[in-house]
Chain A
Amino acid sequence: MAEALIDRQFLERLERLTIHWQKSFQGLVGGHNASRFSGSGQEFLDHRGFHQGDDLRAVNWRAYMRLERLILKLFQVEPRVPVRFLLDTSSSMATGDPDKFEYARKLAAALCYVGLVRLETILIQPFRDGLLDPISAGGGRHRFQPIAEFMQGLKADGRTDFLQVSRKFLAEYPQRGLLIIISDFLDDRDAEKPLQYLADFGHEVFLIHLWSEQDRRPPWTGELEVEDAETGQTSKMNFDDEARDAYTASFDAYAGAVRQMALRKGGKYVGVSTSIPVEEAIFGQLMLARGIY
């Protein structure tokens, strides 16, 4: 499944990368700060007696040979800054050529793999007009397989409601962290304010704005009957070159507004066209935006 989503050569290139964020989050550390809490870290902290249900792999067998008592080794826990992905699975993502949804899945999977390699705690939260069932993972690259299978099971359907999604997300995940939103940010209502709420709450938002070339500059001319992929609403119109220019200008203005909001709130913004290969987007635009490097 993983090979179907991302090929092996691409995964090998991704292992050199690291997801980066700018903010400091209270009570959490980055990948290199030691913690005083015991847990599944690498650094030794203390010994205690073995209790039923403890991990046998942590038993100090040398001490057992000498004392004939099971003694457990304790390690320092390393509380990580959570890296969460909000992945748009609305119907609008299924439009365009190539498909934005397929592109978003590959991009999210690639970034997840980068995080897993660096032992980050990853959460993928699909959304439409609300939050769908998430998946979380952490602890290394070998945990990537469930994430890839989860991605393959997702389907694009329904409408987008960013306001509702923001509310539920803030209620569900009070702990702040890095929030990577992969979406076309096309909502009937304004998407800027809900995104602003997320940033104001304390999350560091990293907006990856996907569009297809048809989304930005429709190629059609003449008599058109245009149907909204999410609402099913139709509109008949005469579309010519001037109308196309006006369309592109509106689209660019909206993308610029989203970008301004993200930057103003200390986040990052990357606009990606689906005509660019995923590998090229990661090693190009995402690195330039210093989202990963």
Chain B
Amino acid sequence: MFFLNLSLAEFSALFAVLGGAVVALYLLDRSRKRIKVATLRFWTPSEKPPEARHSRKIQQPWSLLLQMLGLLLLLAALGQLRWGSPERSLRDHVLLLDTSAWMNARDGRRTILDQTKTDAVTWVRSLPASDRIMVVRTDALSTPATVFETNRGLVEEAIKSSKASASAMQLTQAVDFARQMQRLHGRGQGEIVYTGSGRIADKEAAALPKNFRLLTLRKAGENVGLRKVALRRGASDGELWEVFVTAHNYGTQPRKIPVALAYGHAPVASGLLDLAPGADQNGRYEFRTKAGGELEVRLIVNDAIEADNHAIFELPAQRLLEVDVYSDQPDLLRPFLAIHPWIKPKFMPTNSYTPDTKASVVILDHFNPSAPPKTQAIYIEPVGGGSPAGAATPITSGMKLSWRNEHPIAEGLRTGDVRLERGEVFASTGNFSVIAQADGKSVIVASTEPRKAVVLGFHPAKSQLRYELAAPLLFANIFKWLTPEVFGQKEWNGESIGMVRALVDNNLKPENIKVLNDGGVALPFTLEGNKVQFFAGNEGMFRVVAGGREQVYSLTLPEVAETTWEPPKELRRGLPSLFAGGASSHDLWQWLALAGGLCLLLDWLWFGRIKLHSSVATPSPLDAVSRWVSGWRKAA
């Protein structure tokens, strides 16, 4: 037995002072009363002698005893008298408040989170005032909202200000975090209390500690949601968009859900997904456009979570590559420029050359320009010392062509036994990279300074290369290297927040991969084989740039957990009972206050109200007991 605020000595001193005051008031109350009456003519003193000659004497010991007892009990209640030891009474609880995406589910007018907040506040108010509480908001991450706190106002404020996130809850991680908090910062014992939807991202049930309490599980209704949406341009048609939609049925009933696609608020495609319970279903949709705009993919369904029923993407307009070709033999180059529909060539004679041009790429075929072009350029068999790659020497007959495949332009090129009959090789490459060689001498080089430029020492259409597949591939690689923003492979993915996995090309080194957020800031990632993984805790756009391929992830879909947690039967559930402190102390102040009030009420009933206001004196039961005891003594 101990006091929260007072030691035994302090309590005794306080009781002595108040007890003395009560006795003094009692004696004063029992002393001779002075009253004013209308007349004295009817007053006659009693013929009996007074029971007590001295008025300063205790005449009603039972009344005094009841008053003192009542005072003692009320003081003990005020001091929060408890059973147990002080050390064991200090309990630190961790409240795991589920703030995952499932908590946005509506049950009637209120969300599950609103109901859970009410449950949590009720639990907080049921705890003794000395218990400390830490509120932890749990979703994909466990975030403490308070430290271990006895201030109930702060705790309730933290609960009420919690909002549902867009990620799924990791129960195992949350329990581990709570145990760690209790171990590092807690005092004594306490419980880990969970309240939420019971929908978790964990595949296996967490090993729960003995002090785990399940406060409430708020079940949501049926739900169907988008899990992933992927977009890419058609491989053969620049205006075609392919949309891949994956939806999941989180409920227990099979559903047929219409899917609608709108581009710029105009319907462009629709379909129907047949979803089995707990299963995914994929759909593929197409639409054609050159213009940029906003694509919305929507599941037309009224279910528990509205946020996972639609996804929106901002798509760019289709861009064509303008190429100015200065050549006196344009027909030789036409087949190479017809390899891709996005290339828009403009053929002009060499004498009409000007350095200023609006085109993205300029091709200079067998002539020496008066000034280098102010854009990216492809030089073919430059003459008269006009090569940007330095001095050139003529090719001697029968030089064998070979490729340096480590450069992106030469990637995938094979030509076998192709020999060059005419052209030039470059003696000194300087800051140029070698793409192809003829008998070990540079015959195709590329530079990035000051602008990207590729110099071919021979004309592909005038050599044996024109019969090889490598010829159009060489031009394709050159255009892709010069303008990756046009020909770079780009995909758009709509996914949920949390861990994102992206597939990249094989054999890429980590330094060639970048994961960037909206602001262009690089994020950490891991690379396993061709799988890049990174974590996104917030909504937003993320880009994975790997080689010539860029994947855009629009993480706006909530991560809705699939697994329904089945709590063990032996788990503590609901609100703790009044004395559910386990091995710790028990609060007694409610009972002490009740007993103290009862004592004072009895004293008032037996010695106060009846004696003062009743015209007929009613003996109290205690008086009867006293008389019986005195009679028994006399008889003895």
Binding site for B on A (CB under 8 A): 92-93, 95-96, 100, 184, 186, 188, 213-215, 217-231, 233, 235-244, 246-247, 250-251, 254
A224 to B, closest residue via Cβ: B33
B617 touches A221 (CB 8 A): yes
Q: How long is the Cα–Cα vector from A171 to B31 in the complex, in angstroms?
A: 50
Instruction: Report how many A-B pairs have Cβ atoms within 8 Å.
Output: 106
Contact of B43 among A92, A235, A254 (CB under 8 A): A235
A238 touches B42 (CB 8 A): no
Most buried by B among A213, A222, A246, A247: A222
B121-129, B240-248, B607-615 - the one binding chain A = B607-615
Contact of B37 among A215, A221, A222 (CB under 8 A): A215
A254 touches B42 (CB 8 A): yes
B41 touches A239 (CB 8 A): no
A contact residues around B615 at 8 Å (CB): 213, 217, 219, 244
- How many residues of chain B are within 8 Å of chain A by beta carbon? 30
A184 touches B48 (CB 8 A): no
B contact residues around A229 at 8 Å (CB): 36-39
A contact residues around B265 at 8 Å (CB): none
Q: How long is the Cα–Cα vector from A92 to B38 in the complex, in angstroms?
A: 4
Q: How long is the Cα–Cα vector from A201 to B495 in the complex, in angstroms?
A: 115
B34 touches A243 (CB 8 A): no
Question: Apart from A225-B33, A250-B42, A251-B42, what are 9 other A-B pairs with CB-CB below 8 Å?
Answer: A221-B611, A222-B32, A222-B59, A223-B32, A224-B35, A229-B36, A235-B43, A237-B43, A244-B615
Q: How long is the Cα–Cα vector from A178 to B616 in the complex, in angstroms?
A: 40
B612 to A, closest residue via Cβ: A219
User: Min CB distance, A230 to chain B, in Å?
Assistant: 7
B38 touches A188 (CB 8 A): no
In the complex with contacts A222-B33, A225-B32, A230-B39, A238-B612 CB distance below 8 A: no
A233 to B, closest residue via Cβ: B40
B contact residues around A240 at 8 Å (CB): 46, 48
B34 to A, closest residue via Cβ: A225
User: Min CB distance, A212 to chain B, in Å?
Assistant: 8
A contact residues around B37 at 8 Å (CB): 95, 214-215, 218, 226-229
User: Min CB distance, A70 to chain B, in Å?
Assistant: 61
B528 at the interface (CB under 8 A from A): no
A188 touches B41 (CB 8 A): yes
B contact residues around A224 at 8 Å (CB): 32-35
B49 at the interface (CB under 8 A from A): yes
User: Min CB distance, B28 to chain A, in Å?
Assistant: 13
B40 touches A247 (CB 8 A): no
Q: How long is the Cα–Cα vector from A155 to B600 in the complex, in angstroms?
A: 40
User: Min CB distance, B30 to chain A, in Å?
Assistant: 8
User: Min CB distance, B518 to chain A, in Å?
Assistant: 77
A186 touches B612 (CB 8 A): no
Q: How long is the Cα–Cα vector from A251 to B59 in the complex, in angstroms?
A: 30
In the complex with contacts A238-B49, A247-B42, A219-B33 CB distance below 8 A: no
User: Min CB distance, B57 to chain A, in Å?
Assistant: 11
B40 to A, closest residue via Cβ: A228
A228 touches B45 (CB 8 A): no
User: Min CB distance, B343 to chain A, in Å?
Assistant: 104
A contact residues around B614 at 8 Å (CB): 219
A contact residues around B617 at 8 Å (CB): 221, 241
B39 touches A186 (CB 8 A): yes
A189 to B, closest residue via Cβ: B41
Q: How long is the Cα–Cα vector from A225 to B32 in the complex, in angstroms?
A: 7
Q: How long is the Cα–Cα vector from A180 to B31 in the complex, in angstroms?
A: 43
B38 touches A226 (CB 8 A): no
